Amino acid sequence: MRIHFFLFLILSSILLPDLAAAGPGDKTIRFSGDAIKAEYSKRLTIKTLEQNLPLVTITAYNPWDEKTEDYTGFWLNIMAKKLGTPDVQSILLTGLDGYQVSFNRNEWLSDKILLATKVNGSYISVREKGPLRVIFSEFDKNNAEDGLKLPKWMWMITRVEFRTEAGSE
C-alpha cells in the first residue's frame, strides 16, 4: 500500500507540474445563479476575470488589518452589469469557510465596492485571505455608518451567485 502511495506522489510530481505551480491568479471562483448570463455560469480563474472586467487600483484602509494598502480589482457594480442578466437583484458571495454576504442592487449602485484580486500589486493567496476580497473603497473608520458595513468585509471568496431575488441591505 505504501509503495502505491509513493508511486502516486512521484507520478503526480512528474505528470502534473502545472498544478503544483499554479499561483493565486489561477485560483477559480464558481459563478452561478438564476440571474447570470449563461456564458459566465461556470468556474472562472482570477486572471480570466481580470481579462473580462476593467481593473482599477485604489488605496484604501482595511479595518480588519488596520492598515492602508493598494488594492487592484473590479467594481461590484461593473461585474453585476457585465456578468449578470438585466434582472439581477442581488449577489451572494460565499467564502471558503461557508461565510456568506449578500449585496443588493441598491448597495452596489450606491457604495463603491471593490472585489480585490491583488494587494500591493501581488495576487492574494488563500493564506493572505484571497483569492478574492471585498473592499469598501470609501471606508472611514471614524464614520459610525461605515462601521455597520464591517460584517460585509469579506475574504476568501470562492463562489458568486447572481439572484433575481433581492438580498439584505
Helices (H), 33-95: 46-52, 76-83
Q: pTM score, two decimals?
A: 0.83
Give the pLDDT confidence of 113-159 residue by residue, as tens digits.
999 999 999 999 999 999 999 999 998 888 888 888 889 999 999 99
Q: Which residue has the cell 442592487?
A: 105
Q: 11 pLDDT band (50/70/90 cuts)? A: very low
Amino acid sitting at position 151: P
Contact call for residues 100 and 155 (beta carbons, < 8 A): no
User: pLDDT band at 88, cuts 50/70/90?
Assistant: very high
The pLDDT of residue 22: 64
Q: Which residues of 13-43 are buried (b: 16+ CB within 10 A; e: fewer)?
A: eeeeeeeeeeebbebebebbbebbeeebbee
> What pLDDT score was predicted for residue 168?
58
Helix H or strand E segment including 107: helix 105-110
- Express each pLDDT in 29-81 by its tens digit: 999 999 999 999 899 999 999 999 999 999 999 998 899 999 999 999 999 99
Q: How many CB atoms lie within 10 A of CB 116?
A: 27
Lowest mean pLDDT among 14-23, 50-59, 89-98: 14-23
